[in-house]
Chains A and B, each alone.
Chain A
Amino acid sequence: NAGVTQTPKFRILKIGQSMTLQCTQDMNHNYMYWYRQDPGMGLKLIYYSVGAGITDKGEVPNGYNVSRSTTEDFPLRLELAAPSQTSVYFCASRYLANGDFAEAFFGQGTRLTVV
């Protein structure tokens, strides 16, 4: 199993450009998440999905969009990049059925700089 795979690992964008951060998992997990982590701050939830076709906003969704057409993939779209979106982005997944203590697995992160 590859686990959670994110691409790209690094990206520099100019203000106003758009891009898609890719995330795929091969563990058949139902829940998937996108977080951003700013220096010295905790992870903030951007969007999450409880299964294919179902997505919902987290704490900081403005400026982002997501889709979940398959169980495996959960891409994050930035339409008009702004300097405030400079951050490290982590995708995560977990299988939540009856287990309260299901572990969340994270991708290696995407370091995005908007200039």
Chain B
Amino acid sequence: RKEVEQDPGPFNVPEGATVAFNCTYSNSASQSFFWYRQDCRKEPKLLMSVYSSGNEDGRFTAQLNRASQYISLLIRDSKLSDSATYLCVVRGSGGSNYKLTFGKGTLLTVNP
């Protein structure tokens, strides 16, 4: 299994749709998880951290399943401005706690 693996995409959805992205990670000792957003030709920016109990920020919900080593991001009521690449990021543990490992990203296009 790759360290961090995401849905390959791309996803094309109409405005108002609900879309879910999935991510799996290989190191069961990993402690911290994130979703970053990257607009075309721009730098990645933190969208949200993923907590064990799951967390919500407006239209965005992140879930973590440690047993399955699986992370998800749900976007409700998609907006045109949500069009971007979404990167799943896992922080290493122990001696590798400096390390942030990025998935390849999933491209989302929201259409009018």
Contacts and interface: CB of A to CB of B under 8 A. Distances in A.
Q: What class of interface size applies to chain B in its complex with A?
A: 20 to 34
A100 to B, nearest CB: 4
The DSSP consensus for interface residues of chain B is strand
Interface string A32-63: 01010000111101001010000000100000
Interface in A64-115: 90, 96, 100-101, 103-104, 106-109
Interface string B90-103: 01000001111111
B89 to A, nearest CB: 8
Contacts of B64: none
A28 to B, nearest CB: 17
Contacts of B1: none
Nearest to A107: B43
Contacts, number: 45
Contacts of B98: 31, 48, 50, 96
A42 B87 contact: yes
Interface residues of A, number: 21
A100 B100 CA distance: 11
A41 B107 CA distance: 12
B103 A104 contact: no
Nearest to A58: B99
Contact of A103 (B31, B46, B99): B46
20 contacts: A42-B4, A42-B87, A42-B101, A42-B102, A42-B104, A43-B44, A43-B87, A45-B100, A50-B98, A96-B97, A100-B31, A100-B32, A101-B32, A103-B34, A103-B49, A104-B46, A106-B43, A106-B45, A107-B43, A109-B43
